[in-house]
Amino acid sequence: EVQLVESGGGLVQPGGSLRLSCGASGFTFSTYWMHWVRQAPGKGLVWVSRITSDGSRTNYAASVKGRFTISRDNAKNTLYLQMNSLRVEDTAVYYCALSGGYNKYQNWGQGTLVSVSS
Partner 1 sequence: QSALTQPPSASGSPGQSVTISCTGTSSDVGGYNYVSWYQQHPGKAPKLMIYEVSKRPSGVPDRFSGSKSGNTASLTVSGLQAEDEADYYCSSYAGSDNENVFGTGTKVTVL
Site string for partner 1, 79-118 (x = CB under 8 A): ----------------x----xxxxxxxxxxxx-------
CB atoms within 10 A of CB 118: 8
Of the ranges 8-16, 23-31, 44-52, 68-76, which one interacts with partner 1 (CB under 8 A)? Answer: 44-52
Q: Does 45 bind partner 1 (CB under 8 A)?
A: yes
Cβ atoms 61, 50 nearer than 8 A: no
CB atoms within 10 A of CB 13: 10
Query: Taking the complex as a whole, how short is the minimal distance between the CB of residue 43 and partner 1, in angstroms?
Result: 8
